[in-house]
Amino acid sequence: MKLIRSFRGIRPVAELAAQVASHPYDVLNREEAYELAKDNPNSFLHINKPEVDMPAELSVYDPSVYAKGRENLDRFIAEGILKQDDSPTLYVYKQVMGEHEQVGLVAAASVEAYDQDLIKKHEFTRPVKEDDRVHHIDALNAQVGPVFLTYRAQSKIDALIGGITDGEPDYDFQADDDTRHVLWVIRDSALVAAIEQEINALDCLYVADGHHRSAAASRVKKMRQDANPQHTGEEAYNYFLTVLFPHDQMQILDYNRLVADLNGSSVNEFLAALAEHFDIELVDGEARPEAPRQFGFYSGGQWYSLTANSDLLDKIDDSDPVASLDVSILQDYIFTPLLNIVDQRTDSRVDFVGGIRGLKELERRSEGGEWQAAFALYPTSIESLMAIADAGEVMPPKSTWFEPKLKSGLVVHSLSEA
């Protein structure tokens, strides 16, 4: 079964690529998106967060919001801001963030492969967010937000893609978040075929980020298939927009926690309870974890380093890819027994802060009155993610924060595309 195929992407004309490219829809709230889009009529936020063009009191899930997204996509095409490539192809997408560089392949991935778990998941989805993407894809008749996939690195694939990046790119720009984005259109059909062959020979792919987008693509495919008596399996709705990166280029940052209270305990009482399972050290400055099984704890203007003691290490089952995660250890030995936080996904006493914001953000918010304490974690490894997906298990919520984020708008996958 094919994992991917080439497609006729819809993308910005080169001189407008930097203006068009936007943050993903799910990393900005409505107000942030509005501020970024209001002075830029070419921003892709008008398409992937069309509520920026609608009255503030209107729900983001109102059907007219999705209709506005379709209207804006049609306008971008009509005005020549976006154009569709003449022939099916693949695209190489390089991102540079500080010293980190990763090079991925933009392709259309098979929904059937996803449904048969050859494109493996590691997270549950939330119905409201999944429904939102279904309505968005269906209204636009296009997938505009790529799903972030990874695969076990292969030297032959690296070599094929590396040869492309030696050439002149079609886009090369610095974004407002100081990340650099470079894209090449592959115009050699034999090279496209060779890359497809190598990717399709892989055992599987993994969803790194974009579980709601991929689940929504599956639902839209079923809707379109059920409504099409001439369904062949080759229609564009059988595929979804993705960017694939080799696992050894992935950058995962820490995903940290804020808690509203210490469940009635003082800081000293809480530290005494922690001492059953952790060696505790007062830290001058930030207590950034330097290895797995180590945590930073911040409260009352002070950082503490928490390191799993020998008693706790004996209790952790290293053969269990989920239970041995730091986020699971935090849940099982701190949140549940000491804070009475049983489900981080639904408990309003917990909030999540991506590592891109730094530990200073944990300090700032802990001192603002709403949150009493914070926990800093060591980043989850990509190997752990793949092991959990291979085992058919699910990661705890907010286990991974990938950086840099994929820009939206550089390539669109039309569901009308042949």
pLDDT band at 177 (very low <50, low <70, confident <90, very high): confident
**pTM (2 decimals)?**
0.92
Q: Is the preceding omega at residue 404 within 30 degrees of 0, hence cis?
A: yes
Our CA dihedral for 279, 281, 286, 289, rounded to 10 degrees, sits at: -20
CA–CA distance, 259 with 374 (Å, rounded to integer) = 6
The DSSP 8-state label assigned to residue 89 in this structure reads B
pLDDT on residue 200: 98
Asked if 20 contacts 47 with a C-beta cutoff of 8 angstroms, the reply is: no
Looking at the structure, do residues 57 and 21 belong to the same domain, yes or no? yes
CA–CA distance, 372 with 357 (Å, rounded to integer) = 18
> Helix 127-140 crosses helix 211-226 at what angle (to 10 degrees)?
60
Looking at the structure, do residues 207 and 281 belong to the same domain, yes or no? no
User: How many Cα atoms are found within 13 Å in the side-chain-facing hemisphere of 339?
Assistant: 27
CATH code at position 350: 3.30.1760.10
CA–CA distance, 223 with 240 (Å, rounded to integer) = 14
Asked if 408 contacts 21 with a C-beta cutoff of 8 angstroms, the reply is: yes
Residue with tokens 């960017």: 243
Looking at the structure, do residues 205 and 258 belong to the same domain, yes or no? no
Looking at the structure, do residues 239 and 269 belong to the same domain, yes or no? no
Q: What are the start-end ranges of the H helices in 100-210?
A: 111-115, 127-140, 155-165, 189-200
Looking at the structure, do residues 32 and 13 belong to the same domain, yes or no? yes
Looking at the structure, do residues 291 and 326 belong to the same domain, yes or no? yes
Residue with tokens 């926990």: 375
H/E/C letters for each residue in 279-333? EEEEECCCCCCCCCCEEEEEECCEEEEEEECHHHHHHCCCCCCCCCCHHHHHHHH
SS3 assignment, position 56: coil
Residue with tokens 């000491």: 338
| Beta strands 100-110; 239-246: pairing state | antiparallel
CA–CA distance, 135 with 48 (Å, rounded to integer) = 12
Domain count, the chain: 2
pLDDT on residue 397: 83
In the structure encoding, which two tokens stand for residue 331, read together? 């849940």
Residue 162, pLDDT > 80, answer yes
Residue 139, pLDDT > 90, answer yes
Looking at the structure, do residues 194 and 258 belong to the same domain, yes or no? no
What average pLDDT does range 26-38 have in this prediction?
91
What average pLDDT does range 381-390 have in this prediction?
95
CA–CA distance, 212 with 210 (Å, rounded to integer) = 5
Reported as a single tens digit per residue, the pLDDT across 89-115 is 999 999 999 999 999 999 999 999 999
Residue 117's domain comprises: 4-251+403-414
Residue 143, pLDDT > 90, answer yes
CA–CA distance, 275 with 280 (Å, rounded to integer) = 7
Looking at the structure, do residues 321 and 337 belong to the same domain, yes or no? yes
Asked if 52 contacts 58 with a C-beta cutoff of 8 angstroms, the reply is: no
pLDDT band at 125 (very low <50, low <70, confident <90, very high): confident
What length does the chain have? 418
Looking at the structure, do residues 213 and 302 belong to the same domain, yes or no? no
* Cα Rg, the chain, nearest whole Å: 23
As a whole number of Å, the end-to-end CA separation of the chain is 19
What average pLDDT does range 331-360 have in this prediction?
93
Looking at the structure, do residues 186 and 327 belong to the same domain, yes or no? no
Burial class (CB in 10 A: 0-12, 13-18, 19+), 171: buried
CA–CA distance, 263 with 191 (Å, rounded to integer) = 60
Residue 218, pLDDT > 60, answer yes
241 Cβ contact list (under 8 Å, min separation 6): 106, 108, 109, 143, 144, 145, 146, 147, 411, 412, 413
pLDDT on residue 369: 84
Strand-pairing partners, residue 173, are: 181
Residue 232 amino acid letter: T
CA–CA distance, 320 with 324 (Å, rounded to integer) = 6
Strand-pairing partners, residue 306, are: 280, 295
Looking at the structure, do residues 228 and 271 belong to the same domain, yes or no? no
Residue 418, pLDDT > 80, answer no
Looking at the structure, do residues 200 and 82 belong to the same domain, yes or no? yes
pLDDT on residue 26: 87
Nearest to 278 by CA among 322, 320, 323, 338: 338
